[in-house]
Amino acid sequence: MAQDSSIRFRRFEIMTALIVAGEVVFLLPFVFARIFRPTFLRVFEITNLELGTAFSIYGVIAMISYFVGGPLADRYPARRLMSLALVTTSVGGFLMATIPSNTVMTYLYGFWGLTTILLFWAALIRATREWGGSAVQGRAYGVLDGGRGLFAAILASISVMVFSALLPVDVESASFEQLSAVISQIILIFSGLTFLSAVLVWFWIPEKIVEAGIVRMDKLSFEGVGKIIKMPTIWLQAIIVVCAYVGYKCTDIFSLYASDVYGYNDVEAAQIGTVTFWVRPIAAIGAGILGDRIRASKMTTISFAILVIGSIVIASGYLKPGLDAILIMTIVGTSVGIYALRGVYFALFQEARLPLVITGSAVGLVSVIGFTPDIFMGPLIGYLLDSSPGAEGHQHVFAVLACFGIVGTITSVMFRRITKNNTSI
């Protein structure tokens, strides 16, 4: 009994470290801008398109990093890779806190493409699959993303309160210098959290998460890539991730939507953006648990359908100033579909009977294709918003999302048909 309790506590420690690290590593590149986008644009004196271009540079570097990072994750323990990634990412945050020029910010996002992806991403996903074993893959990824979402929601809520508290005056009358000083302080806090999470990972994640059935390559090899490119399910899964990730990129503008269309101030807009963070843990964990019961591919089909409905409501222009309750309901509903997908799309590996030994390589290939929205969605969103200011630009963005959602739905059905005789889960 004591041994069982010890094992459960150890597993709890490992998953907690994965959750914290898995969210903190993206605080500086993405979460910060998602929470404070209107203020971010003002303080750094950039447009939506310029910020989108920085995101695109990140995406280009990330594409290469996904491909190489997969075999790295199959070769080296997650603890080493993830700790190094977190330390180097935090260093970039201390530079960001100086409010550098747009050029420096662009290079900084390229640097983060290396630190957060090459060293981190495949290691995180492989470690999660090892933690989940063969029986609870949906639950493992659902708990990972749901836990990340809960942690992000707490951080986002605290950040908005800190932002409001640190301003010496009301946000509407705050000067540029006052906004810059507060934003710099919040960035420093995020950088410190990123560094501290590296320490947590080092002490809480063991060199080997499980012993039985886990094999690591003796040397860095791309042999696994050759095997997985012959699997049609891998390509379908990559398309599913593309469509789902387009939705995730669109969550970046929920706070801006509240500001541009509803006239909310910076604090109110940040609060709207924070609402989606609280949806994430419920949607991701729920999707993961359901995915283990009804298959992950069926769960992705349902999630895409929800995403499409929410996107169409926003794209239609139905939401008008004054309909605050409907605004929140629509954002929450759309977020449910988006975050449910994030909680289950990597569980598709188990449904496709992917050998555990090449998980890192599979994550790398799926991510190379699946996260291409990091390259094109930032500039596309920026262009659509800047060329059609106000409600119209946002309608165009969510019309694009609805189209990707439809493609994702069809692809999920195809994946399910291919794996319908798979009884491994």
370-414 pLDDT tens trace: 988 988 988 899 899 988 888 899 999 999 999 999 999 999 999
* All structural domains of the chain: 2-205+216-418 (1.20.1250.20)
| pLDDT, position 212 | 36
| pLDDT, position 352 | 83
CA pair distance 214, 14, nearest whole angstrom: 17
Q: Which amino acid is at 315?
A: A
Could you tell me the CA-to-CA distances from 385 to 248, 257, 324 in Å, in that order?
17, 10, 21
Contact assessment for residue 85 and residue 24, using Cβ atoms and an 8 Å cutoff? no
- Tens of pLDDT, residue by residue over 335-382, are 999 999 988 888 888 888 887 777 777 888 888 899 889 889 888 998
Four-CA torsion 160, 43, 248, 57, nearest 10 degrees: -150
Low-confidence ranges of the chain (pLDDT < 70): 1-4, 134-137, 171, 209-226, 421-425
| pLDDT, position 422 | 54
Contacts of 311 (CB under 8 A, 6+ apart): 247, 250, 334, 398, 399, 401, 402, 405
CA pair distance 182, 167, nearest whole angstrom: 7
| pLDDT, position 165 | 86
| pLDDT, position 210 | 57
| pLDDT, position 224 | 60
| pLDDT, position 319 | 76
- Tens of pLDDT, residue by residue over 95-126, are 999 999 999 999 999 999 999 999 998 899 88
